[in-house]
Amino acid sequence: MIIIRRGTIGDAPALAEFGARAFADTFAEDNTPENMTAYLAATFSAEKQARELSDPGILFFIAELDGVIAGSVKLVEGGAP
């Protein structure tokens, strides 16, 4: 059964791992290994995810299947970055 829930600060490590894996699976073929490594480290660290999960202007929803993250969405209040 899939459960959808709001992300919490405790999800930071798993969300960072999931996000990095999903991004790499999608875009690795179109980038150099060096660029991928640099981008993943800057974008999907557990520390960055924790900051975003703590930000009141950012809302995460996580889909879990049998307790494992199967998808996520990040909603950001305000204009596009």
Q: Please report the pLDDT score of residue 71 as a whole number.
A: 96
- 3-state class percentages of the chain: helix first, strand second, coil last, to nearest 5: 50, 25, 20
What pLDDT digit, counting tens, does each position of 12-47 carry?
A: 999 999 999 999 999 999 999 999 999 999 999 999
Check whether 80 has a pLDDT greater than 90.
no
CB contact at 8 A, 14 and 60:
no
Q: Provide the token pair at 15.
A: 């969300």
Tell me the pLDDT band of 57, cut-offs 50, 70 and 90: very high
pTM of this structure: 0.84
